[in-house]
Structure 1
Amino acid sequence: MHISQLDGQRVALWGWGREGRAAYHAIRARLPALALTVFCSDDEATEARALGDAGLTVETAATAERLAAFDVVVKSPGISPYRAEAVAAAAQGTRFIGGTALWFAGHADADGIAAHTVCVTGTKGKSTTTALLAHLLRAGGHVTALAGNIGLPLLELPVQPVPEFWVIELSSYQTGDVAVSGVRPELAIALNVFPEHLDWHGSHERYVEDKLRLLTQARPRMAVLNANDPRLAALVLPDSQVHWFGRADGWHLREDALYRGDEFVMDTRALPLPGRHNRGNLCAVLTAIEALGLDAVSLASHAASFRPLPHRLQRLGTRDGIDYVNDSISTTPHASLAALDCFAGRRVAILIGGHDRGLPWEDFAAAMREHAPMAVVTMGHGVPSQNGPRIHALLAPVAAQVGFGLSEATDLADAMAQARAALGGDGVVLLSPGAPSFGVYRDYVARGRHFAQLAGFDPDTISGIPGLGIA
């Protein structure tokens, strides 16, 4: 649905975060007289009313009855369409879409393809992969937009200049929007699929289904897939040209060496890509560049000038003999395990725990039998809806058998004090919670900033995402 098609319809916005505000301004720019209603929190309502828009009605109760009064509801990504009130309203004919769908509908060519769009998704590594792809394209002299879930809503992108490539990160909350837009991406990259966001999707099966909608329903003209992910390897995509990475006949790693087929390209150990999984995702980026018809081999060396993203295995520095690493973006047990793997052989105290979405931690506990750090500190004890106590109970018998330190903390400050004590002035304090920040912090950024502040670093200097927008 194009924004112009909203004219004459009963339209509401659901959510007044950055995506919601971006949708409002985009709609207002094209349809200044359209009556709009926004459903938001009490705090957000004050900000929305302060706009002084006579055509904007602000409400704070998004009930099924009220949502059903609209033809179209433009919802923010964090609001699940599986909520009872959304399901009830949809059954009565209300159409729910997001800003991503509106943007794609406005960028279709005559063949129904959003030309030069590259969409990146995956449970882990998608932000770094998206930023790295934009970085390499720009290094090759191509004007490139970097936007999406990485920190800039698509509807905030300026109309001019028109970039040669649009590089877009999509979360599992947004992949369905591309599918319902009816517009095919030029290329889609899928890195991996692990259990995640079960509270939004309702089940692991639905999460996988929603994540893969970018491939199975949006039908990109080309797809770049990880040959080592069993779910992706099993996909059949008859409408897409599939390019694989992680296979011996394409871009892949042999230990730390980057190869294109049998051709050695470079040693990746010195690259500013946190974790071997991100160096592996360089293979995805180069496969995509090659699929776009560009010389990937000549661009590969520019990965050396990439600036790592904040809150993603971000090395803040050293204080009193201890290195501090901010991996606040980590919201799954798999991400925490990957973070630990980056510091194998080091004395590590890892801080885990956050909002409990019901994700299983059994694989993490099993891994501790062979690859335990010096200390594990579980956070959120005594705080409602936090999974620290559940993780602690699961790890307790393993710690008793293996012999690593295990302690419980009420909050981040308490956890850091315990981690420092466990390390005794030598090692790594690793914040890789494996869970969202809800209930304690506004988002993972606020959690990472607090970690930096507690460690003695300036939170403002560690939080900027380089390269957003068009350059």
Structure 2
Amino acid sequence: MTPITVLAGKRVALFGLGGSGLATARALKAGGADVAAFDDNQGSRDKATAEGISVVDLASADWSGFAAFILSPGVPLTHPEPHWTVGKAKAAGVEIIGDIELFFRERATIAPSAPVVCITGTNGKSTTTALIAHVLRSAGRDVQMGGNIGAAVLTLEPPSDSRIHVIECSSYQIDLAPSLAPTVGIQMNLTPDHLDRHGDFEAYGAIKERLVASADIAVIGVDDEASKQMARRRAASGRPLVKISGEQPLDEGVFAGITANQGKLDTRIVQVRDGKPRVVANLAGIGSLRGSHNAQNAAAAFAACDALGLSAEEIAAGFRSYPGLAHRMEEIGRIGRVVFINDSKATNADSTEKALTSFRDIFWILGGKAKDGGIESLTRYFPNIAKAYLIGAASDLFAATFDEDGRVTYERAGTLAVAVADATRDALAQAGEGEIAVLLSPACASFDQFPNFEVRGDAFRALVKALPGFVGFGAA
């Protein structure tokens, strides 16, 4: 835990007693703050009370006595409309902040030079966060990883000059962190997402940009126009910038060079410094870093670890041993030449695009609760699809896209269990040589059939592991 001493002796309001909110309340209490916490859910209030955290009805509380209001990131700050507690705080002139802000204020007090890497972006931030943490650990560094991935940031050990924090930051968290100032700030990419919470794409992008604008060293992807503009603004500021790309050569920065080698794609990470390029890592054969999207993730990880003083050899060794994240292009195992890929985290078309570029013979399981735009943007990758299997509420919408395009054979599987069985049957019957993929990459939210993408991915993994002849990776 990181006790929050910067509010010691002060009365603090807190709303939201889920995982990160409860962790924040504990950290504030441990640091000596007088916490008045509340949540709309009775079960959450009861759990906090059982831990000795003071639960107060903030609707009737005297807000003039609060030094700060800590809002959980899942609670609306501005859109679609501010939560009622936000109105109370503003009326009383109480600042509204989140757990990331508390972490950075504590760092500024106890260890202002402590190294912190913060990662944001629409897609790829979780893999990049986990990859950076893994590379640093494999090189013998003391690493704490959390934030929007895994552990809440205030459950981590406190900042120190000998410890590196690697923190994934969502737009919601950045919006509540005015003092955010990482050693290395990474902006991966930007596509429309969470617009219901930020109003429009421009506001969403402006929030993301705060992370790299305040960083000592900014690492910015330049494979989309919005992020490219961020890089231009950073360059104009004269402060350190490392551009990264998973798609194009750069005159300066870190990029992925992808070439065909005997029917497979070799991905080399190239660093260009002072106009001189050198290959610093090769991702060929690293299943956990397959695809152009992971090439950008690896480029970002290389740039961050290089900035923290690791050698190219240490970083490349870390890449080779990286196990990958569950539900993100997770290689579960295979039956013969059929490999099973769990990409349940792909909840929009942009995420699924990365998966469709990673294979050439795909039996694609997709569907769920559709997001705006459906899969229209993916039609250029349809030649890679051997057959598609539609599940969930989006079946009619996606079938219409396939019918209009005319290049994809599909079936309405309805459920994930039927889709896995039928895709496996068809993949095993496919003639030819080379790798075939049974790919769960839904391009949809899960909420029509599953409570979240993790449960959906776990269900896929269980179904696949029960198939006759299945061999998991790493099995003898």
Give the structure-2-normalised TM-score: 0.80
Counterparts of residues 299-310 of structure 1 (less than 5 Å) = 299-310=315-326
* Partner SS, residue 290 of structure 1: helix
What is the deviation of 1:404? Answer: 2.3
Residues 118, 188 of structure 1: 8 Å contact kept: yes
Over 3 Å counting, the alpha-carbon distance change for 1:3 and 1:177 in structure 2 is: farther
Q: Which residue of 54, 57, 78 maps to 2:55?
A: 57
Q: Is the 8 A contact 1:189 1:284 kept in 2?
A: yes
Structure showing greater relative contact order (alpha-carbon pairs closer than 8 Å, 6 or more residues apart): 1
What is residue 279 of structure 2 aligned with on the other side? 264
1:71-220 to structure 2, matched below 5 A, reads 71=66, 72-83=68-79, 84-86=81-83, 88-89=87-88, 91-92=90-91, 93-108=93-108, 115-159=114-158, 163-178=162-177, 180=178, 182-216=179-213, 219-220=214-215
1:277 to 293, 298, 312: 293
Q: Return the match for 1:253 from 252, 256, 266.
A: 256
Query: Match for 2:391 among 369, 379, 393?
Result: 379
Does the C-alpha gap of structure 1 residues 95 and 418 become closer, same or farther in structure 2, counting only changes over 3 Å?
farther
Q: Is this contact kept in 2: 1:221–1:239, CA < 8 A?
A: no
The residue that corresponds to 1:402 in the other structure is 407
Paired letter, 2:254: W
Counterparts of 2:82 and 2:218, CA distance in 1: 35
| Alignment partners' CA distance in 2, 1:39 and 1:163 | 37
Residue 373 of structure 2 corresponds to which residue in structure 1?
360
How far apart in 1 are the matches of 2:389 and 2:147? 33
Counterpart-to-counterpart distance in 2, 1:40 and 1:425: 53
Gaps of 5+ in 1: 382-386, 463-471
2: CA distance, partners of 1:67 / 1:440: 43
Given that 2:221 and 2:228 are in contact with CA atoms closer than 8 Å, whether structure 1 keeps it comes out as yes
C-alpha separation between the residues in 1 aligned to 2:159 and 2:211? 27
Q: Report if aligned partners of 1:129, 1:281 keep a CA contact under 8 Å in 2.
A: yes
Distance 1:119 1:76 in 2: 19
In structure 2, the CA distance between the partners of 1:240 and 1:361, relative to structure 1 (3 Å rule), is: farther
Q: Distance in 1 between matches of 2:64 and 2:399?
A: 47
Between the aligned residues of both structures, percent identity stands at 27
2:433 paired residue number: none
Change (3 A) 1:96 1:305: same
CA offsets per residue over residues 299-354 of structure 1, 9 Å max, x none? 3233111111111111112358753211111122111111111122x242222333
Give the distance between the partners of 1:337 and 1:183, measured in 2 at CA: 31
Q: Give 2:373's aligned amino acid.
A: P
Match of 1:447 in 2: 456
Aligned counterparts of 1:389 and 1:69: Cα–Cα separation in 2:
54
Q: CA deviation at 1:388?
A: 4.6
Q: Which amino acid aligns with 2:176?
A: D
Query: Which residue pairs with 1:428 in the alignment?
Result: 437
Compared CA separation, residues 425 and 293, structure 1 to 2 (3 A): same
The change in CA–CA distance for 1:193 and 1:154 in structure 2 (over 3 A counts) is same
Deviation, structure 1 residue 253 = 2.2
Any conservation in 2 of the 1:327–1:431 contact (CA below 8 Å)? yes
Once the two structures are superposed, residues 271-321 of structure 1 have per-residue CA deviations (whole angstroms, 9 ceiling, x without a partner) of 241323213322222222232344335532331111111111111123587
Q: Is the 8 A contact 2:23 2:155 kept in 1?
A: yes
The offset of 1:392, in angstroms, is: 3.8
Q: Separation in 1 of the partners of 2:61 and 2:462?
A: 43
Structure 2: distance between partners of 1:339 and 1:27: 42
Aligned mates of 2:143, 2:271 — CA distance in 1: 25
Give the aligned residue type for 2:20: E
Q: Which whole-Å CA distance do the structure 2 matches of 1:164 and 1:30 have between them?
A: 20
Could you tell me which residue of structure 2 aligns to residue 384 of structure 1?
A: none
Corresponding residue for residue 41 of structure 2:
41
Contact 1:322-1:429 at 8 Å conserved across structures? yes
Partners in 2 of 1:67 and 1:322 — Cα distance? 63
Q: Whole-Å Cα distance in 1 between the matches of residues 24 and 185 of structure 2? A: 24
Instruction: Give the distance between the partners of 1:388 and 1:67, measured in 2 at CA.
Output: 51
- Aligned pair in 2 of structure 1 residues 66, 165: CA closer, same or farther (>3 Å)? same
Moved more, 269-278 or 289-298: 289-298
Query: May I ask how many residue pairs the two structures share in their alignment?
Result: 435
Indicate conservation of the 8 Å contact 1:365/1:395, yes or no: no
What code does the residue aligned with 1:232 have? S
**Are 2:232 and 1:232 aligned?**
no
How many angstroms apart in 2 are the aligned matches of 1:402 and 1:67? 64
| Partner of residue 262, structure 2 | none
Letter in 1 for 2:19: R
Change (3 A) 1:419 1:162: same
Answering whether residue 296 of structure 2 is matched by residue 291 of structure 1, we say no
Q: 1:389 to 1:7 in 2, by over 3 A?
A: farther
1:258 positional shift: 2.7
Unaligned runs of at least 5 residues, structure 2:
259-266, 431-435
Contact residue 75 and residue 98 of structure 1 kept, 8 A = yes
Is residue 377–residue 419 contact of structure 1 (8 Å, CA) maintained in 2? yes
- CA RMSD of superposed structures (Å): 3.3
Q: Check whether the contact 1:144–1:163 (CA below 8 A) recurs between aligned residues.
A: no
1:466 aligned residue: none
> Is residue 100–residue 176 contact of structure 2 (8 Å, CA) maintained in 1?
yes
Q: Does structure 2 retain, via aligned residues, the 8 Å contact 1:349–1:423?
A: no
Task: Give the TM-score normalised by structure 1.
Answer: 0.81
- Please name the residue that 2:264 is paired with: none
8 Å Cα contact 1:133-1:285 kept in structure 2:
yes
Summarize the alignment of residues 313-324 of structure 1 with structure 2, pairs less than 5 Å apart. 313-318=329-334, 322-324=338-340
Give the structure 1 partner of residue 417 of structure 2.
413
Say which is worse superposed, 22-31 or 194-203, in terms of deviation: 194-203
